[in-house]
Amino acid sequence: MPDQAKLAGYARELRNHPTPLEIILWQHLKGSQLGGYKFRRQSVIGPFICDFLCPSKGLVIEVDGDTHETERDRQRDEQLAQLGFTTMRFTNYEVGQCTEAVLEMILEKLNSLPDRWDGYARPTQPLP
């Protein structure tokens, strides 16, 4: 498993240097704009850095560029599911050209997922 401190540092770098498509999506997710759901950028979950995370619903959003490998992504999504997270993946094209449709799909998924904890307080157990 990767060193958590190194992952956290790398996640910080990714937050400071987002891709253009991550910027586009973040403009709609930040500040609880989408359905009142709070999102974080470049969150570390286990050995992974996830593009966007809604902690209250356990929803991970990934914006996939040309370098993503389908099989590797499938395995990663399975591992995240074992930790209790749901992953949605969107291509750069979808985020850039179909932003409203992407946001509608994310909101629909958020509304369908159960809450990970009640209220606005953080869970007593830290997220993996």
Instruction: Going residue by residue through the chain, which has 128 residues, state the pLDDT in tens, using 9 for 90 and above.
Output: 568 889 899 899 999 999 999 999 999 999 999 999 999 999 999 999 999 999 999 999 999 887 768 899 999 999 999 999 999 999 999 999 999 999 999 999 999 999 987 655 454 445 55
Handedness of CA 35, 33, 89, 59 (dihedral sign): negative
How far apart CA 77 and CA 80 sit, in angstroms, is 5
Q: 17: part of which helix (H) or strand (E)?
A: none
Tokens of 79: 């591992």
> Would you kindly state where each structural domain of the chain is located, as residue ranges?
4-111
Taking the domain 4-111, which CATH number applies? 3.40.960.10
